[in-house]
Amino acid sequence: MEQQQQQSKQPALSPRRTAIVVGASSGIGRETALKLAAQGYRVFNVSRTPLKGERVRTITADAAQEGELTKAIRAAGEEAQAVDLLVYSAGCSMAAPMEHAKSGDYRYLFEVNYFGAVEALRACLPYLKKRGGRAILVSSLGGEMPIPFDSFYSSSKAALEMLARESDMELRAHGVRACALLPGGTATDFTYNRRVYKAEESGSYAPSVKKASAALANMEQGGMEPSLVAACVLKLAQKRNPPPVSSAGGKNGAVRYLTKLLPERVTDWMMRKKFNQR
């Protein structure tokens, strides 16, 4: 009798689906949050900057500050009494020579791109387990192919992809699936927020950094629209048996398949040529 009374005091899980999107203030994250809201999800944006609009609730947090994402996600989970989907879309980039890159810059990048994802996933797990939920980590084709002078970004995205694969292995028994989505170049303000090292910071690499960063910017701005990448996120979230790693769009899928067939030195040569390097 006493056990039944204790169970009755526990709040019932909300029948409405709930999604938390980390980094939904702009770009892919913003489009994902809006599409989820249009699909009837209750959506929380966790970011430093609010996403304006009545359909998405923002809880402010900085992914680079340890503990802030955990606090924000717990607040969202307690408010909604459930989380069905986590989308980690926070990220930043820097164009810099590995030799001259400042430790503060690349450590910050990893805090946002990788360690923030670890913290968000761990904080969401108690809620995701209750609902058999999904976690989708927005990685990049740059995590599988080297981009000249974007080494720290590519490294962080490679780590994010492996985090998704490893997490999917561990969490299946608990009804939770984890996936990495790999977009290619996407036309967002991410391009203009990139930290590009100036000539005086790059030393003898300055001309190469300038050419590589310009080629990357052109590729991104001529790439997919963020709404199309967001549609891939929704499709992945709705799959009964999602792959641990998926490309965004057919073209990116073909590029990824081709690079896996080719020897690495051939892929590296192609990337050097694409980004105007010797």
pLDDT in tens, 84-110: 999 999 999 999 999 999 999 999 999
pLDDT digits (tens, 9 = 90+) for 250-272: 899 998 998 889 999 999 999 99
The rounded percent of the chain whose pLDDT value lies above 70 is 94
The rounded percent of the chain whose pLDDT value lies above 90 is 84
Average pLDDT of the chain is: 92
Phi, psi of 6 (to 5 degrees): -65, -40
Listed range (13-17, 106-110, 128-132, 180-184) with the worst mean pLDDT = 13-17
Alpha carbons within 13 angstroms on the beta-carbon side of residue 33 total: 28
Of residues 11 and 199, the one with the higher pLDDT is 199
Within 10 Å of residue 131's Cβ, how many Cβ atoms? 17
Contacts of 164 (CB under 8 A, 6+ apart): 135, 137, 139, 178, 179, 180, 244, 245
Query: Which stretches of 74-160 are assigned E, i.e. beta strand?
Result: 85-88, 94-95, 134-138
Contact 237, 32 (CB under 8 A): no
Nearest Cα residue to 153 out of 145, 2, 233, 17: 145
Confidence of residue 12 (pLDDT cuts 50, 70, 90): low
101-122 per-residue burial string, b: 16 or more CB within 10 A, e: under 16: beeeebebbbbbbbbbbbbbbe
* Residue in this structure with the two tokens 């690499």, named with its chain if needed: 205
Confidence of residue 237 (pLDDT cuts 50, 70, 90): very high
Q: What domains sit in the chain, N to C, each tagged with a CATH number?
A: 16-274 (3.40.50.720)
